[in-house]
Amino acid sequence: MGPACEVTLAEFPSEQALGRIDAVLTERSEQVNRTRKGLVWDIWIRKRPVHVAVVDLPPRVELSADCNSPEDYEVLRSLGAELASNLDGSASEPTK
């Protein structure tokens, strides 16, 4: 298991916000496996596997990498910042 970070949100994402999450993940990823009903995505960015989940309490988007290289930290940092920008949230720094 690699690093993880989260994007904290003011409230649980609306359908429109979930659509923005899906759009960002689709645009950034080489491969996306969705379970939108479960609010979970498994994606690959720059050949790095990343797990993304929307969580209810407190409302946040959790990001975790399956590997533990400096590139995995950078992928999470970049993706977290982009999601935070699109959702008016705040991204934490990836940590192990």
User: Can you tell me the distance from the alpha carbon of 37 to that of 35, in angstroms, rounded to the nearest whole number?
Assistant: 5
Q: Is the peptide bond before 58 cis (omega within 30 degrees of 0)?
A: yes
pLDDT (0 to 100) of residue 35: 80
Q: How many CB atoms lie within 10 A of CB 11?
A: 9
pLDDT (0 to 100) of residue 36: 59
- Domain ranges in the chain are 4-91
| Measured CA angle at 45 (ends 18, 35), to 5 deg | 35
Mean pLDDT of each 10-residue bin along the chain, 96 residues long: 96 93 95 83 95 95 96 97 97 96
4-91: which CATH topology? TATA-Binding Protein (3.30.310)
* 3-class secondary structure, 31: strand
pTM over 0.85, yes/no: yes
Residues 6 or more apart from 68 whose CB is under 8 A from it?
1, 2, 3, 96
